Structure 1
Amino acid sequence: MKKLIILSLITVSLSSCEQDLKCADFKNGTFLIPGDSIYPISSNIIRKNGRQVEWEKAGDSTHAIIKYLDDCNWILTYDTELSELDELEQLINNSGGVKVEVLEIKGDTLFYNGVLKNDTLLFEQPGTIIKLK
């Protein structure tokens, strides 16, 4: 009986240590966007106060501005003052940014859908963001 009680206490202790993250927990911190079948290269991200620095390899960073519509929805555009934009980043900015909607959060992972839309284009891309710190 004592073993059963101890085992129950350990199980409750371990399950209460799991992080129950919310959308707001993804506004600031260090994150990873893992590569996928559409874009196989992972990116590291640091977010703070509506700004984001993203890099795939050391010395190759991109700066973005995040306009939060609410905790779970935002629009991402690229900072033209801190980064020289490539063709895709210019298209994103000229289209008003990528609108990101949080679909679900499981543990330390946020699942989202990003939408890029203008007069001639509608592109949707699901993705994940993993909170590291």
Structure 2
Amino acid sequence: MAIYCSYTSVANNMNKLILHLLMIIGLSSCGQDLKCSDFKNGKFLIPGDSIYPISSIIIRKDGRQVEWEKVGDSTHAIIKYLDDCNWILTYDTELNELDELEQLINDSGGVKVEVLEIKGDTLFYNGIFKNDTLLFEQPGTIIKLK
């Protein structure tokens, strides 16, 4: 028994195979999780939660952060990266008039942020503020917008 394959059917099958491979590669690259370093620069959303119900937008660039809870009300911060997944946030005294809590945070060395997990475009973190008499931990999320 002889098997007959025409050049056309082989070419069609090769085209289908290539098309399927390209689709698989394209779909798998679209759904990749981000890395800690992807949260160093860009535009982000910190959604409100049960502890602090107000959402805010932040823009990060080159170790600096500007945060808006409402239009016209911004807070400037300095980010000192310990590594890609851990950093210390302090308030910028040149661009902000610090309230009592912000001054206490700065005087105590800032808020240490530890990344717990990244799923898709969302970073889950734990913020830790500590000095000689206080220890405060607050979990949160940061969603990458751009």
Aligned partner of 1:76 among 77, 89, 101: 89
Structure 2 unaligned residues grouped into runs of 5+: 1-12
Matched with 2:123 is: 110
Q: Is the 8 A contact 1:99 1:116 kept in 2?
A: yes
The Cα of 1:55 is off from its aligned counterpart by 0.7
Q: Is the 8 A contact 1:19 1:108 kept in 2?
A: no
Aligned equivalents of 1:13, 1:30: Cα separation in 2 = 25
The Cα of 1:67 is off from its aligned counterpart by 0.2
Which residue identity lines up with residue 122 of structure 2 in the other structure? T
Q: Which runs of 4+ in 1 moved over 6 A?
A: 5-9
Which residue identity lines up with residue 106 of structure 1 in the other structure? K
Counting only pairs closer than 5 Å after superposition, residues 1-133 of structure 1 correspond to structure 2 as 13-133=26-146
The Cα offsets for residues 7-62 of structure 1, whole Å up to 9 and x where unpaired, read as 89756643331132100000000000000000000010000000000010110000
Aligned equivalents of 2:32, 2:90: Cα separation in 1 = 30
Q: Is the 8 A contact 1:78 1:93 kept in 2?
A: yes
Corresponding residue SS for 1:52: strand
Q: CA RMSD in A?
A: 1.7
Structure 1 unaligned residues grouped into runs of 5+: none
Corresponding residue SS for 1:56: strand
Would you tell me which structure has more helix in proportion to its own residues?
A: 2
The Cα offsets for residues 72-113 of structure 1, whole Å up to 9 and x where unpaired, read as 000000000001111221111011100000000000000000
Q: TM-score, normalized by length of structure 1?
A: 0.90
Identity %: 85
Which residue identity lines up with residue 77 of structure 2 in the other structure? A
Q: TM-score, normalized by length of structure 2?
A: 0.82
Which residue identity lines up with residue 48 of structure 1 in the other structure? K
